[in-house]
Structures are given as structure tokens and as C-alpha cells.
Amino acid sequence: MVANPHLPVLLDLLGVFAAAVAGAFAGLRKGLDLVGILVIAVASSLGGGMIRDALIGATPVAAISDWRYFAVALGATAAVLSVTSRRMSDSKLKSAIEEVRGRAVRLDRIALVADALTLGLFAVSGTLKALNYHLPVFQAALLGTVTATGGGVVRDVLVNEVPMVLQRELYAVPAFVGGLLFALLERHGFVVQGYLAAAGSVVITAAIRLVAVWRDWHAPRPGAVA
Amino acid sequence: MVANPHLPVLLDLLGVFAAAVAGAFAGLRKGLDLVGILVIAVASSLGGGMIRDALIGATPVAAISDWRYFAVALGATAAVLSVTSRRMSDSKLKSAIEEVRGRAVRLDRIALVADALTLGLFAVSGTLKALNYHLPVFQAALLGTVTATGGGVVRDVLVNEVPMVLQRELYAVPAFVGGLLFALLERHGFVVQGYLAAAGSVVITAAIRLVAVWRDWHAPRPGAVA
Amino acid sequence: MVANPHLPVLLDLLGVFAAAVAGAFAGLRKGLDLVGILVIAVASSLGGGMIRDALIGATPVAAISDWRYFAVALGATAAVLSVTSRRMSDSKLKSAIEEVRGRAVRLDRIALVADALTLGLFAVSGTLKALNYHLPVFQAALLGTVTATGGGVVRDVLVNEVPMVLQRELYAVPAFVGGLLFALLERHGFVVQGYLAAAGSVVITAAIRLVAVWRDWHAPRPGAVA
């Protein structure tokens, strides 16, 4: 179905990288120590794929049986920590409070982009794996949505917050749209090989998510329906 | 073992409907928007069955591979939203605060009944699926209890509340009783076909749960034991 | 690979006992009733193994299909409740507040030791099961870490607390060290049979964890890195 056998793993590893970056920033914002940051980055970047593989019976799950998943999560966390700690020492002269405020804004912005990319990458990788397990288009997009939102739910529940997927900006919707788009492209042979369909679907998912945040798009509340 | 092959799916879909109704009300009560309400209704109505299927290895799990599960969850959510928004517009003249209070009481009552029916339906469907996977009576009732309480735990954890299963009124106990009753009826051939045993066990589970809430039954606290 | 076929189940059941003790104390501290305490003890003692078995595809998971798991969890909970309620009646003359304070300190100490033993037992049992499923050394230790920390995460999330695995004292690190040590001992044949390697790895894991708590070891915060 998909021409290139490396595509699923490539999407997964890119998704793990982006998710670990978003997870490490969540840990930094919560004031966790290095081990806590590592735990949350690993759990949230590997969690979505673990749930996906357990649900379709692709066991042992790839996030455990393939060492590159953990290595990428570790590398992404190390990258975040080295960049953020260097910045911190560059700005010794600023007052502590200002610096923390300025950093928080920048961190939130990077974390948001990383989170949107995670959403797109895992939506497509989950959809693709489901197609390879012979699920139909709609169900494949549903598994893609579970994969894409699962890791973020793990992250938010671990730090004891109401998961982003329940909050006002669109989160699950772009994942489902991206997964469905990819599944339809794959099934109808609009692409010579999977890379282009995959890249396009990832970008569209992430773009919808980011525009939803920046323009404060959200679904109406039921009160507004009446 | 069970005469009718449609029984497991029928129980599951009725359980998904009741759970999605309870989940949608939980989302309304939390003031979520339409997408948030849909996410919590879907996650809590499909979550228990997903956990069940992953634990016994019935993969790909039915809640993903069978499109009717998602469709029923979506339909139940839409039904709740259309009923609650119509009511809201009917009562335009009442003061906003009174209306919200009055609605909250009614909503809680409907959500409670839906939740009790969910408990019964999933306790029996989980027990039945476990029997079909050749688990013994006791273990089947245990899986029924996990199925019945799993979705509610997902719902409560998502909205950042201490799960109902830990709180004072009996919750896990009726599920286990109902599952065990059904497993014993099935195993000892007291019924010509599964429907009667299933319906009876569902009703008994839901009744115990509702009576426990209405009469404020609960287990003693350890302090009272000494 | 491992000489004795009883070792995995023995480690698991000892782990379930220790985890149920830790879980029951968590329930007592939260003021739950008897059913709530039982639910949290069962969920946290069986949760880690359920996650492990679902992730490697060892289904139906042992915690459901083998009745001894539930029986041990139930027995451990009953033991905790009988000991704590006897103590409570022995101390009738003390003022209520002092007694509660004194008990809380003692309970925390027992719960801490039980939790450290759980960590060691499940780290080794998870690693061993992964080795038996032909995962390599590093991946086996990773699954051991997931098994060891999974039940505690379930427990902490259920009672709505930020999981211990994210907090300052070392928690995931001893589990990984113990799992890796056991996997290396097994693979390089340093032991005639598995018992000695298992016991040593359990003790070392629990010891690192307890020393970390008692001496307040913890990873640095990122702020201290710069």
C-alpha cells in the first residue's frame, strides 16, 4: 500500500522528537528536576505510539522493542535542556523575574509549535499503521487521532492538568482531518509514494492547529447553540 | 457458549450509548465547548471497551475496528446536545441563575441513571467477552468490572476529578456482582439463550448502583472498624 | 533462559503484595472508605503488570487470567486494614489529633518501604518477562522500568496527585538500574539460577530508592545547570 517501508518508522521517530521537545518544555514550566523532565518527555513522546500499538495488537510495541524510540526521546530532551540552560547563563545581568517571564513566553511558543508538529506526525503515522493493519479509511483516521492526542493526554494527566484535548482551541479535529486526508490520498493512489502525502498531511494538521491557537478558533459552547 | 452471536456487540453498543450520554453531561457540567464534550463522550464511552480488548488481546480493538462504536457515541452526544439546548431556549424568561441551578439538578439525575446503565451493560459485556475468550467465571467477572469502571475512570481523570470508583457510594461492587451473576447463569445453563441472563444482570447491576446512591449506601471507613 | 519457571510469577505475586500494601496506605491517607481502599490497592498493584503484558502482547494479561494476582492484592489490603484498625483501638486514650499525626508518620514509613520493594520486584519481573519475550537487554530494562513505575502512576493519578515518578527523589532511575543489572546478570550467565540474580537486583533497586529518599538525593533542576 505504501511504497516505502521506512515511512512509518520515520514518521514515528520525527513524532517522538517533536513530542519529547513539547514534553520537556512542559516539565521545565512545571519546575521539575532533570529526571522528572526526562520522565515526562519520554512518557509523553512514547505514550501515544504505545497506546496505538496495544490497541491494534502490534506487540511488543515499537516504542519498547525498537531502541531508537527511547534514544530519540532522550536526545530531544538533552537538546532542549542544553539550549535552555545556555540561554539562562547568557542573561545573567537581567533581573530574575523579567528573565523568567520572557523565557516563559518564548518557551510556550516553541512548545506550541512542537506540539502542533507532534499532532500532525502522529496523526499520519497512526493512520498509516492502521492502514497497514487493514483497517478501513475512517477507522484508520480514528486510530491516527488516538495516537496523536494520546501522548499529550498522558503528559497533561501526569502533571495534573485538564488535558489540552478538552480545552477550547481545536486539537482533536485537526488530527482527524489530517489522518483522514492521508488515508484518502493513500487509498486513491494520488501519490507515487507515501512521502508526499505524508508530508502534506502533517503540514496541514499542524497548520490548522496553529491557526486555531493564534486566531483563537474554537468550537462554540452549547449555551451559544440555543 | 452463548447462543446468540449478536449479544456481545448489542450489549457493547447499548453501553457505548449510555456511557456517551453520561460523558456528554459530565462535559456540559464542566462548561466544555462542543468539541471538548464530544471528546470526553467518545473517550469515556469507548475507553472501557478498549482497555478490555487490549487486556485480553482482542485486537484490533472493537471500538476502533467497528465503525458503529464511534457512530453510536457521536449520535448519543448529538442527542444530549440537542435536548439540552432546546430546553435552554424554552426557558428564556427564567433568570439565568435559577435556570442553571434547576438544569444542573435534572442533568445530574439523567447522568446518574445513564452512568448506572453503563455500569450494568459494560459489566455484562466485559464478562461475556472474557467467557468467550475462555476465562473462568471469577476472572470473567473481574474483567467485566474493569470494563464497566474503566470508561468512567478515563472520564473522571480527563476532567481532573478523583474517580467516582474511589468515592463513597458503591460503584465497583455492583459491577462485580452483576458480572459474576451473569457468568454463573451462563455457565450453569439457567437460560435458553443469553438475552434474558444479560438483561437481568444489567438491571440488577444498575439497580444496586442507583439504590446505593439514593439511599447513600457506602462502605464503612476504616476508622469506624476499630 | 531462566532456570526456574516459577520465578516470574513469584516475583509478580510478591510485587503485587508490596504494591497493594503501598496502595492501601495511600487510600487510608486519603480518607477513602473500605471499597475505595480496596479499589486503589487492586488497581495500583495489578496496573503495572497489566500495562506490561498489554505492551508485549502477553494476553490475556496475567493479572486477569491468574486468580492469584487478585487474591494476593485482596489479602494484602485486608492485612493492612486489620493491622491499622487494631492499632487504632489500642490507642483510645490519646487525643485524636496526636494519634492521627503519629500514625501518619508511621504509615508513611511503612508505605515508603512497601513502595521501594514494589519498585524492585516489578523492575525485575518486567525485565524477566521481556527477556522471555526475546527483547534485548536494554529494551528489557526499559519494560521493567515501565512495569515498576506504572502501578504507582495509576495510584497517584487515581487520587489526583502529581505522580511520584515526576517528583524530586529518584524513582525511575533505580528501577532502570535494577532492571539493567538483572538483565546483564541473566544474559552473561553469572548465576546458576535466576533466584540469586533476582533477589540481588530487587534489593539493590529498593536500597537505592530508600537511600535517595532518606538522604534526599535528587537530580538537579535545570536552573542549577547553567
Q: What is the pLDDT of residues B105-146, one digit of tens each?
A: 666 788 889 999 999 999 999 999 999 999 999 999 999 999
Q: What is the pLDDT of residues B51-61, one digit of tens each?
A: 999 999 998 99
* ipTM for the whole complex: 0.84
Which residues lie below 8 Å from residue C45, measured CB to CB, with a gap of 6+? C15, C16, C17, C19, C20, C23, C72, C73, C76, C118, C151
Range A159-165 contact pairs with CB under 8 angstroms and sequence separation of 24 or more? A159/A26, A159/A27, A159/A30, A159/A40, A159/C162, A159/C166, A160/B160, A160/C160, A160/C161, A160/C162, A161/B160, A162/B158, A162/B159, A162/B160, A163/B158, A164/A115, A165/B36, A165/B39
Q: Model confidence at A100, in pLDDT bands (50, 70, 90)?
A: low
Count Cα atoms within 13 angstroms, Cβ side, for A141.
Answer: 23
Q: Are C25 and C80 in contact (CB under 8 A)?
A: yes
User: Which region among A157-166, B46-55, B90-99, C63-72 has the lowest average model confidence (pLDDT)?
Assistant: B90-99
Return d(Cα C88, Cα B49) in angstroms, integer: 41
Place of cell 519457571: C5
Percent of chain C with pLDDT strictly greater than 90: 46
Residue C107 scores a pLDDT above 90: no
Question: What is the model's pLDDT at position A82?
Answer: 87
Chain A residues within 8 A (CB-CB) of chain C?
Answer: 27-28, 30-40, 50, 53-54, 57, 59-61, 64-67, 70, 81, 84-86, 88-89, 157-160
- Closest C-alpha to A41, from A70, A84, A3: A70
Cβ contacts below 8 Å, chain B against chain C, sum to 90
Q: What is the pLDDT of residues C146-186, one digit of tens each?
A: 999 998 888 888 887 777 777 766 888 899 999 999 999 88
Q: What is the pLDDT of residues A3-43, one digit of tens each?
A: 567 888 999 999 999 999 999 998 888 888 888 899 999 99
**CB–CB contact A64 C55 (8 Å):** yes
**CB–CB contact C64 B130 (8 Å):** yes
Q: What is the pLDDT of residues B140-190, one digit of tens each?
A: 999 999 999 998 888 888 887 777 777 766 888 899 999 999 999 888 766
**CB–CB contact C222 A39 (8 Å):** no
Residue B210 scores a pLDDT above 50: yes
Q: Where are the domains of chain C?
A: 7-219
**CB–CB contact B55 C57 (8 Å):** no
**CB–CB contact A158 C160 (8 Å):** no
Question: What is the model's pLDDT at position C190?
Answer: 60
Distances, alpha carbon C160 to alpha carbons A220, C74, C86, C144, in Å = 29, 23, 29, 25
Q: Which residues pair with B148 in a beta bridge?
A: none
- Closest C-alpha to B125, from B179, B200, B46: B179
Ramachandran angles phi, psi of A169, nearest 5° = -70, 150
Return d(Cα C95, Cα C88) in angstroms, integer: 12
Nearest to A162 among B50, B67, B159 (CB): B159
Question: What is the model's pLDDT at position A226?
Answer: 35
Q: Which chains touch B (3 or more CB pairs under 8 A)?
A: A, C
Percent of chain A with pLDDT strictly greater than 90: 46
Place of cell 515508603: C112
Q: Model confidence at B82, in pLDDT bands (50, 70, 90)?
A: confident
For residue B225, the chain C residue with the least C-alpha distance is C85
Q: Model confidence at A2, in pLDDT bands (50, 70, 90)?
A: very low
Determine the distance in angstroms separating the CA of B212 from the nearest CA of chain C, rounded to an integer.
Answer: 13
Return d(Cα A141, Cα A144) in angstroms, integer: 5
Residue C133 scores a pLDDT above 50: yes
Q: Which residues pair with A218 in a beta bridge?
A: A169
**CB–CB contact B219 C60 (8 Å):** no
Considering only CB atoms, which chain B residues are within 8 Å of A226? 85-86, 88-89
For residue C156, the chain A residue with the least C-alpha distance is A158
Q: What is the pLDDT of residues C6-63, one digit of tens each?
A: 888 999 999 999 999 999 998 888 888 888 899 999 999 999 999 999 999 998 999 9
Residue C218 DSSP class: B
**CB–CB contact C135 A60 (8 Å):** yes
Return d(Cα C135, Cα C129) in angstroms, integer: 9
Residue type, A57: G
Question: What is the model's pLDDT at position B104?
Answer: 61
Residue A163 scores a pLDDT above 60: yes
Nearest to C157 among B157, B173, B221 (CB): B157
**CB–CB contact A86 C226 (8 Å):** yes
